[in-house]
Amino acid sequence: PHPPHTHARTQATVAVLEKFGERREAGRSRTEYLAQLKRDLATYYGYNEFMIDMYLNMFSVAEALELMEANEVPRPVTLRTNTLKTRRRELAAALIQRGVSLDPIGPWSKVGLVVYETKVPIGATPEYMAGHYMLQGASSFMPVMALAPQPEETVVDMAAAPGGKTTYIAALMRNTGTVFANEINKDRLKSITGNLTRLGVTNTVVCNYDGKELPQVLGQRSVDRVLLDAPCSGTGVVSKDPSVKTSKSQQDIWRCGHLQKQLLLAAIDLVDANSTTGGYVVYSTCSVCVEEDEAVVNYALRKRNVKVVPTGLEFGREGFIRYRDFRFHPSLKHARRFYPHAHNLDGFFVCKLKKLSNDI
């Protein structure tokens, strides 16, 4: 007989592993089943061994399969209403008139809309050109909501291109105070200035430094809040960039983690612990790797006077406080993880820190 189709065999193997005691074939070890499963997953979904191992370490077998399945499907198209220029209700009405089918994104956001189908290019409507909205993945609302910037504050967005988060910060501050939008890559500055202009943001200064230099440039302890949406391996956005399935290794993850630790310390050094309204840093990545997420924050807890505080986000899973050989500070449960299969968002990590003192 023909060998069963890989996918069918995968499903069968998962079923056995879920209730191993009662379902396994006599004489076949769990290790054998797992090795078979890994081979089938690699064939069917096209991941390298490193990625498959990571998923299987992080989730039950059945849930790892759900995640891989969700990675095959694009996330919904979402947009953020620019409240500097319009209200969500008015924007929705205008777009519906143009043949766009949409809905509010969910009870957790007052400004998001999800687009089901559209008769017009959604990135070229008159409303888009006039800056009434930003096309923006739903997961990238989260870090800004956690940051919760206040009017009249001084805020830094350390890795700002293409400006979705920066413009959201400016809108929450109602164009008051000052936002520094930093981007290390010169070629990406155009995307920020273009979006700032289109959306009518007037409180933002664009700068082009290595984020690690910002405490020297802007001054240590000089700002109220910092958002560090860190450069990362992108293991949370496989549906956008399928090359991640095979291009990442443990070395890449460690390299990212090393840079992220340096950037996070710089972010903390920028913030003034004595700010009357702020003193917060939000750290986020579009990676699901613990080495880029909880491990980076845990490092900062050891090196600086900061504590993890609740993000204020009403959903998402708790951060890990133990993972394989890692043991993290118990407060990391306040961090939040988002997954494609669980929340229909890109894989994402958000953690909020409060600076307790300006002494290192």
289 is a catalytic site residue? no
> Residue 234 — left, alpha, or beta (φ > 0 → left; ψ -120 to 50 → alpha)?
left
335: left (phi over 0), alpha (psi -120 to 50) or beta: beta
Question: Which helix (H) or strand (E) covers residue 198, if one does?
Answer: helix 189-199
* CA atoms of 134 and 303, how far apart (whole Å): 37
CB atoms within 10 A of CB 340: 26
The label of the residue with tokens 């499903």 reads 11
What's the maximum distance between 2 C-alpha atoms anywhere in the chain?
Answer: 73
**Whole-angstrom distance, CA of residue 264 vs CA of residue 307:** 13
Side-chain half-sphere CA neighbours of 61 within 13 A:
21
Tokens of 341: 């299969």
Beta strand pairing status for 348-355 and 336-338?
Answer: antiparallel
Residue-level length of the chain: 360
Q: Hey, what amino acid is at 95?
A: L
Which of 207, 232, 256, 286 is labelled catalytic?
286
SS3 204: strand
Segment holding 133, helix H or strand E: strand 133-135
Residue 33 CA to residue 231 CA, distance in Å, equals: 36
CA distance 170 to 212: 23
Where in the sequence numbering do the catalytic residues fall?
A: 286
